[in-house]
Amino acid sequence: MYAGVFADIEGSFGIWRMRQCRMGTREWQYGRSCLTEDVNQVVRGCFDGGATRVLVKDTHEVGFNCLVKELDPRAEYLGGHYVKPSLYGDVTGIDLVLYVAIHAASGTPEAFFPHTHYGVFSQLRLNGSPVSEMDIYGGYLGELGIPIGFVSGEDVAVEQALRTLPWAKSVVVEKDKDTYTSGEKSLQYLEEGRARLRATAADAVRSVSEMRPLLFKGPLRFEAEFRTEELARKYNTWDFPRDGATVSWEAGDMVEGFDKLNRLVFIPRWSYPVRRPMAFAMRSYYRIKNTYFAPEADPEEASLP
């Protein structure tokens, strides 16, 4: 049983504000330790539940957020984004993905740092309905034959994920400042919450036979509503149909649709022929920067053991 622990960061225990997710800041350095703790609990849960191999896939921003030296040494680690064989790199053979620290979809009112794939959208729609990352990533992994069977994050993010992944086990994580700055009470909440991550991950792995790869029936119509028309114009180097701030495209399946989404936001037309060496350069740069040149952590008012 080969488990993939995929990590975002916004939905980690211990994180209550946006700056703690912004790569390169001192607050993010604190956020990394929160994320690493959550990821470790899920990794332990995977092994408790019977996994024989666990891959940690780090995905937030350019994808080097976990403190690798502090990760459970039994897990393999894969940071950054790829072009081939998938956006995530080599995920061949993974039986189940557990998605740690997710956040709500673009346009979700009152949510913590809501966005779908990238912050430039005010909404991303699939066949007319707003979608979250778990829909898009779930559908992409689903076409590779891989189910998502676990999510953790803010209540509304979990609720959105469970709409399309009803079989997934979940852990809800509070996002308000008081929860993490109230001394003994906060430490107890963290301890209980992280114990829940471990137990729920073990449960998900044991229940792998109930999990389903998410599949959307094609044809798929995507609509990306940018925050402004100017942004839509700037990003649409591929000349997809555009109506004001909304850019749209069609796809036969999610792999194709997701590829077009990535082209729209991350691969301007001029760079397409060099996208593989560019992705390699990005991974190398951020691996070194975030490993050896990280800032000192600023936990602000966080209650620390």
- Beta carbon nearer to Zn ion, 28 or 226: 28
Q: Which stretch binds Zn ion (CB under 5 A): 7-15, 47-55, 256-264, 271-279?
A: 7-15
Residue 8: CB minimum distance to Zn ion, A = 4
Q: Is 8 in the site for Zn ion (CB under 5 A)?
A: yes
Least distance to Zn ion from the beta carbon of 103, Å? 6
Q: What angle do CA 280, 230, 137 make, to 5 degrees?
A: 45
Of 22 and 212, nearer to Zn ion (C-beta) is 22
* Residue whose CB is nearest to Zn ion in the complex, by number: 60
* Nearer CB in complex with Zn ion: 61/95: 61
CB of 63 to Zn ion, least distance (A): 10
Interface segment toward Zn ion; rule CB under 5 A; list 3-11, 68-76, 163-171, 296-304: 3-11
Q: What is the DSSP string of 87-152?
A: TTS--TT--EEEEEEE-PPTT-TT-SS--BSBTTEEEEEETTEE--HHHHHHHHHHHTT--EEEEE
Name the nearest CA neighbour of 161 among 208, 114, 230, 219.
114
Judge contact between 21 and 9, C-beta under 8 A.
Answer: yes
In this structure, are residues 4 and 94 in contact, taking their beta carbons and an 8 Å threshold?
yes
Which CB, 46 or 157, lies closer to Zn ion? 157
Tokens 């459970």 belong to which residue?
72
Burial of 296 by CB count in 10 Å (0-12 exposed, 13-18 middle, 19+ buried)? exposed
Q: Is 117 in the site for Zn ion (CB under 5 A)?
A: no
Residue nearer to Zn ion on the CB measure, 133 or 253: 133
HSE of 200, CA atoms in CB hemisphere, 13 A: 22
Least Å from the CB of residue 9 to Zn ion: 5
Nearer to Zn ion, 60 or 169 (CB): 60
Minimum distance from CB of 65 to Zn ion (Å)?
Answer: 8
**Integer Cα distance of 181 and 248 in angstroms:** 43
Q: Which of residues 21-80 bind Zn ion (CB under 5 A)?
A: 60
Question: Would you mind telling me the total number of residues written for the chain in this entry?
Answer: 305
* Stretch of 6-14, 71-79, 166-174, 254-262 contacting Zn ion, by CB under 5 A: 6-14
The count of residues interacting with Zn ion (CB under 5 A) is 2
CB of 99 to Zn ion, least distance (A): 11
Please report how close the Cβ of residue 93 comes to Zn ion at its closest, in angstroms.
25
* Alpha-carbon span 71 to 226, nearest angstrom: 37
Contact present, 165 and 134 (Cβ < 8 Å):
yes
- For Zn ion, the closer CB: 72 or 133: 133
- Cα separation, 173 vs 131, whole angstroms: 21
Question: Which residues, 6+ apart, have CB-to-CB distance to 53 below 8 Å?
Answer: 1, 2, 3, 76
Minimum CB distance to Zn ion smaller for 47 or for 258: 258
Neighbours of 143 (CB within 10 A): 19
> Taking the complex as a whole, how short is the minimal distance between the CB of residue 36 and Zn ion, in angstroms?
15
Binding residues (CB under 5 A) for Zn ion: these are 8, 60
